[in-house]
């Protein structure tokens, strides 16, 4: 089992350290860790946020465990040298087009939600976000108009095959859950999402056991706060998914608890190749202070074991250990508590 370990910037190395302690405690046979440098760390060490050597490691590995990228000191670099190019580039390079972001309420954390506890308690959803297309990857620039004004522009587009493949991932995910899929778009205003909706309906015909519904993204943002319990699986584009999943994370309680998978179509001898990372960023405001909550990183390890290595029992063990630590009152700063990174790691290990 070859696992690429890309800790990245900010709190990335601190939370990765705890996840690797958990992996170590499982004593799995034949684990090879392949360390690589991404983001600002990649720029400093290798001169590029996603160096060719790092890409080679990513191709060679069966799965990638990714911390976070983002570094203020790199903000003034040209766009292609900025830290976030590492994650965008890896998703593109490995054709990781489906981002799965589970958001489930942990018992005992209802009070932490930005929502009323009785509303928050019902949250059990999966957001499937398309990752390879949309306005993030279109042509873009800042140009000067004839009258001298500068104009920023970004092209939004989806080809039908790009929508079709994410649709299949979402419909299959819904089949494995409660059988409800809500496609979130803005088809009343955007042509891109008119096509998106047409393709969702077309693919939906192949999944008669899944109830497909459609919602405009502005309404979805409202419904997520009003009654998140109505959602089972949500499928949406890259930008809407970026925003809605951060919103969903606050409904659950903290950004420090949510893990994600980015999957493609590559099958290894063990499972589906993917990249696994917390949904939060590098949190530069608390980096190096031992304050970061490593739970999202540890839960990312669990989903990696599940999807890329078929180790369901180990994944469940880790998830149960995290849930038990939370139930026992272990709280990081993100949850209004005082437990530090290592202390939370110890608490999870003790319950493993």
Two tokens, residue 316? 């469940």
Q: Is 282 annotated as a binding residue?
A: yes
- Of the listed 136, 216, 270, 346, which one is catalytic? 136
Residue from 89, 228, 332, 340 in contact with ligand ATP (CB under 6 A):
332
Q: Is 246 annotated as a binding residue?
A: yes
Does 33 sit near ligand ATP (CB under 6 A)? no
Question: Under rule CB under 6 A, which residues in 240-269 are in contact with ligand ATP?
Answer: 255-256
Residue from 99, 132, 293, 300 in contact with ligand ATP (CB under 6 A):
293
Two tokens, residue 112? 């932490």
C-alpha 330/C-alpha 328 separation (Å) is 6
C-alpha 9/C-alpha 83 separation (Å) is 8
- Of the listed 9, 134, 232, 242, which one is catalytic? 242
Q: Is 288 annotated as a binding residue?
A: yes
- Residue 114: DSSP 8-state: S
Q: Terminal CA-to-CA distance of the chain, rounded, Å?
A: 21
Two tokens, residue 55? 């890409």
334 binds, among ligand ATP, Mg ion, none (CB under 5 to 8 A by kind): ligand ATP
Report the nearest approach of ligand ATP to the CB of residue 122 (Å). 24
Report the nearest approach of ligand ATP to the CB of residue 10 (Å). 7
Helix (H) or strand (E) holding 266: strand 259-267
Question: Per-residue x/- mask for ligand ATP, residues 163 to 202, rule CB under 6 A?
Answer: ----------------------------------------
C-alpha 27/C-alpha 351 separation (Å) is 16
Q: Is 99 annotated as a binding residue?
A: no
Q: Which among 275, 234, 331, 341 has a CA at the least distance from the CA of 13?
A: 341
- Of the listed 186, 207, 232, 334, which one is catalytic? 186
Question: Per-residue x/- mask for Mg ion, residues 252 to 291, rule CB under 5 A?
Answer: -----------------------------x----------
Report the nearest approach of ligand ATP to the CB of residue 178 (Å). 29
- Of the listed 216, 246, 270, 346, which one is catalytic? 246
Q: Which range in 24-32, 101-109, 174-182, 282-290 contacts ligand ATP by CB under 6 A?
A: 282-290
Q: Which among 95, 178, 177, 103 has a CA at the least distance from the CA of 132?
A: 95
Q: Is 232 known to be catalytic? A: no
Residue 273 or 291: the one with the smaller Cβ distance to ligand ATP is 291
Q: Per this entry, what is the length of the chain? A: 352
Two tokens, residue 226? 């009003």
C-alpha distances in Å from residue 3, one per residue of 192, 224, 270 = 37, 35, 12
- For 254, list phi and psi in degrees, rounded to 5: -155, 150
The DSSP annotation for 270-334 comes to: SSEEEEEEESS---TTTTTTT----HHHHHHHHHHHHHHH--HHHHHHHHHHHHHHHHTT--BGG
C-alpha 241/C-alpha 82 separation (Å) is 22
Residue 256 near residue 295, CB atoms below 8 Å = yes
Q: Is 124 known to be catalytic? A: no
Does 88 sit near ligand ATP (CB under 6 A)? no
Report the nearest approach of Mg ion to the CB of residue 70 (Å). 9
123: left (phi over 0), alpha (psi -120 to 50) or beta: beta
Report the nearest approach of Mg ion to the CB of residue 88 (Å). 13
Residue 113 or 282: the one with the smaller Cβ distance to ligand ATP is 282
Burial label, 295 (beta-carbon count in 10 A; 0-12, 13-18, 19+) = buried
Residue 26 near residue 69, CB atoms below 8 Å = no
Does 280 sit near ligand ATP (CB under 6 A)? yes
Q: Which range in 31-39, 72-80, 157-165, 280-288 contacts ligand ATP by CB under 6 A?
A: 280-288
292 binds, among Mg ion, ligand ATP, none (CB under 5 to 8 A by kind): ligand ATP
Q: Is 79 annotated as a binding residue?
A: no
Where do contacts with Mg ion occur on this chain (CB under 5 A)? 281
Where do contacts with ligand ATP occur on this chain (CB under 6 A)? 11, 70, 255-256, 280-283, 285-286, 292-293, 296, 332-334
Annotated binding-site residues for NAD(+) read 281-293
């Amino acid at each position: 089992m070859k696992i690429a370990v890309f800790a990245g910037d900010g709190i990335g190395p601190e939370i990765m350290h705890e996840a690797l302690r958990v992996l170590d405690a499982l004593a799995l046979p034949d684990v090879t860790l392949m360390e690589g440098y991404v983001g600002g760390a990649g720029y400093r060490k290798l001169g590029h946020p996603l160096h060719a050597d790092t890409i080679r490691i990513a191709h060679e590995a069966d799965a990638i465990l990714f911390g976070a990228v983002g570094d203020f000191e790199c903000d003034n670099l040209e766009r292609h040298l900025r830290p976030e190019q590492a994650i965008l580039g890896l998703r593109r390079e490995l054709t990781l087009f489906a981002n799965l972001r589970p958001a489930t309420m942990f018992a005992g954390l209802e009070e932490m939600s930005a929502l009323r506890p009785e509303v928050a308690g019902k949250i059990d959803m999966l957001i499937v976000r398309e990752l390879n297309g949309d306005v993030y990857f279109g042509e873009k620039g800042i140009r000067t108009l004839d009258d001298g004004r500068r104009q920023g522009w970004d092209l939004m587009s989806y080809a039908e095959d790009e929508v079709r493949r994410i649709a299949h991932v979402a419909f299959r995910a819904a089949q494995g859950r409660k059988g409800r899929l809500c496609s979130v778009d803005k088809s009343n205003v955007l042509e891109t999402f008119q096509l998106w909706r047409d393709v969702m309906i077309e693919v939906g015909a192949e999944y008669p056991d899944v109830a497909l519904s459609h919602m405009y993204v502005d309404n979805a943002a409202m419904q997520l706060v009003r009654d998140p319990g109505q959602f089972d699986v949500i499928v949406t584009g890259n930008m809407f998914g970026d925003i809605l999943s951060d919103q969903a994370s606050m409904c659950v309680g903290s950004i420090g608890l949510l893990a994600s998978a980015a999957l493609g179509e590559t099958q290894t001898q063990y499972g589906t190749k993917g990249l696994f990372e917390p949904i939060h960023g590098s949190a530069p405001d608390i980096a190096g202070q031992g304050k970061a909550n490593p739970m999202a990183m540890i839960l990312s390890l669990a989903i990696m074991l599940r999807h890329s290595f078929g180790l369901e029992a180990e994944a469940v063990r880790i998830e149960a250990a995290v849930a038990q630590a939370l139930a026992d009152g272990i709280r990081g700063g993100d949850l209004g508590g005082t437990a530090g990174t290592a202390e939370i790691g110890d608490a999870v290990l003790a319950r493993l």
